[in-house]
Structure 1
């Protein structure tokens, strides 16, 4: 099941799903034309089958060959083919017009708002060429029905475009909330654990000290401002929980880390801290931070007990 999900969500899987969907809708269209009494224009009965074969064959060639901008070529072929299909459809209004807007929506769902707007503009251009030709051969009632269908489908596409934009905005906001803490402007605990763990084995490999610090204060946002001014570009600061900040200080010995904490303590009375210089390159970062949090229980706000040195991790 997991392997199937990976195949479907991979780039190759998405491309294959698009081809199968195109083939399915093309098959539905050609069956519709096969049972239709006549075409909008007088053409040989085999025309839909020839169009189907050419369309599916070119899409298969793009699937196998995968040239540069293959997706753009495939989408342009969709619009061109559907324009021809609309000229064949004898229905008033033509039901195959729905396929044009399905192509627009599927591109938006797969490739985002930019592709959606490009495809929507392309669909309107196709309709701008096809509709005047069809309307010139139709009576007033049929023309009104076709124009109403175009207006309704265009309004639906604009609505779906707004929903795609909204979902993208919410996804970006959720990702930002996961990675950045709004109170301190530092990264979150989840971001720290998932991205900074490589620092532990790296500093063990290069025999350089990596010091971990947990800092606790009742006014964490004010402390965060001061920490942001004092740490170096190579240091990592994160919001650990409601009461703690976590600091990763690469290439920093214990004495240098103590100096930093003493400076913070002079400006923020009531600060408490626990620190440890990692000596075990196999320790997980989350394990080390939990170890520091356990050591924090030994601290108080008194001048002689505000800083705890955590024992090494076995």
Structure 2
């Protein structure tokens, strides 16, 4: 397993989250260790005890992995950061940034829904913590804290919009990869990566499967007719700029020819190459390339528009 696959695996992401939490917790402890005092008078060892409890509970969740363990870990983040904000002697408190880092990291890892839930949770924490802090500080310090909260909240909403936009673009890119916009059939990449299992299956059940490659200058119009003529078990795909690929399970050569004749009657200029697979070990991509080479023998006349590809060797 490569390093990238370890990081992108579910276990790798969980470990990476734990290490990030431990790192930010350690930075917070170092910050409090060098602070002269806390916002409220508490024992000097309080940040270390809080650090040990937080890291220990997160480690327990890491190894225990209960149902909804990630949600529990995120809730623990918010609770702990609320306590940290009550300890932070700064005005405005620098540790407030950690609260919004937690929100952003959840959004990047789990999507816009988790981002919005965490953002709402962060605002609830601030709604409890800030009034307590503001009641003990002067007006200038209170204004600075409120400005920081508003500015960070606006930044989070902006980042949330960017997360939503990137997810929408990713879905659109995936759909474009799998679906051809001109014909509404699946793309060549989707055909090759998902339909190859049909070849050995039909060989195992001793049922013929015929492949056809169809050429026409106006594929969208032809695709509309093909969509109404093929069965639910048939597979149609955009092969390239001017070719459609058809996989016709449980179909003999004569039946495939009848289908192609019907399509040519309605769409003059259509040319095609067909082949009934007899080798269950043939790769689908190889078979389609073999059909494409046979297309060179076709011409736009009634006697040579259809080519029968020779058996593959």
SS state at 1:213 partner: strand
CA distance in 2, matches of 1:67, 1:287: 47
Q: Deviations over 1:37-64 (max 9, x none)?
A: 0000011111101100000000000000
Provide the secondary structure at the position in 1 that maps to 2:297: coil
Q: Any idea what the Cα deviations from partners look like across 1:75-131, whole Å, max 9, x if unmatched?
A: 000000000000000100000000000000000011111000000000000000000
Report what 1:261 is aligned to. 260
| Residue segments in structure 1 that go unaligned for 5+ positions in a row | none
How many Å separate the matches in 1 of 2:168 and 2:3? Answer: 29
State how 1:204-219 maps to structure 2 within 5 Å: 204-219=203-218
Query: Aligned partners of 2:304, 2:122: CA distance in 1, in Å?
Result: 71
How many angstroms does 1:245 deviate by?
0.4
Question: SS of the residue aligned with 1:28?
Answer: helix
- Report the Cα distance in structure 1 between the residues aligned to 2:204 and 2:310, rounded to whole angstroms: 21
In the alignment, what sits opposite 1:37?
Answer: 36
CA-to-partner distance for each residue in 1:212-237, whole Å, 9 max, x for gaps?
Answer: 00011111111000000000000000
Alignment match, 1:300: 299
Match of 1:4 in 2: 3
> Which whole-Å CA distance do the structure 1 matches of 2:87 and 2:127 have between them?
16
Residues of 1 paired with 2:236 and 2:90: CA distance?
Answer: 65
SS at match of 2:240: coil
| Equivalences, count | 313
Structure 2 distance, partners of 1:147, 1:31, is 25
Q: Distance in 2 between matches of 1:241 and 1:6?
A: 32
Whether 1:48 and 2:47 are equivalent positions in the alignment is yes
Q: In the TM superposition, what are the counterparts of 1:266-305 in structure 2 within 5 Å?
A: 266-305=265-304
CA distance in structure 1 between the partners assigned to 2:311 and 2:220 by the alignment? 30
The equivalent of 1:106 in structure 2 is: 105
Root-mean-square deviation over aligned CA pairs: 0.6
* C-alpha deviation, 1:3, in angstroms: 2.2
Aligned to 2:165: 166
3-state SS of 1:40 partner: coil
Matches within 5 A, 1:84-163: 84-163=83-162
For structure 2, the residue ranges without an aligned partner over 5 or more in a row are none
- 2:207 matches 1:238: no
**Equivalent-residue separation in structure 1 for 2:86 and 2:108 (angstroms):** 27
Q: Distance in 2 between matches of 1:240 and 1:7?
A: 35
Paired position in structure 1 for 2:81 = 82
Q: Report the alpha carbon displacement of residue 74 of structure 1 after superposing the two structures with TM.
A: 0.1
Deviation of 1:9 after TM superposition, in Å, equals 1.1
Query: In structure 1, the residue corresponding to 2:256 is in which secondary structure?
Result: helix
Q: Which runs of 4+ in 1 moved over 3 A?
A: none
Kindly report which structure 2 residues correspond to 1:21-36, keeping only aligned pairs within 5 A, or say none: 21-36=20-35
Q: TM-score, normalised by structure 2?
A: 0.99
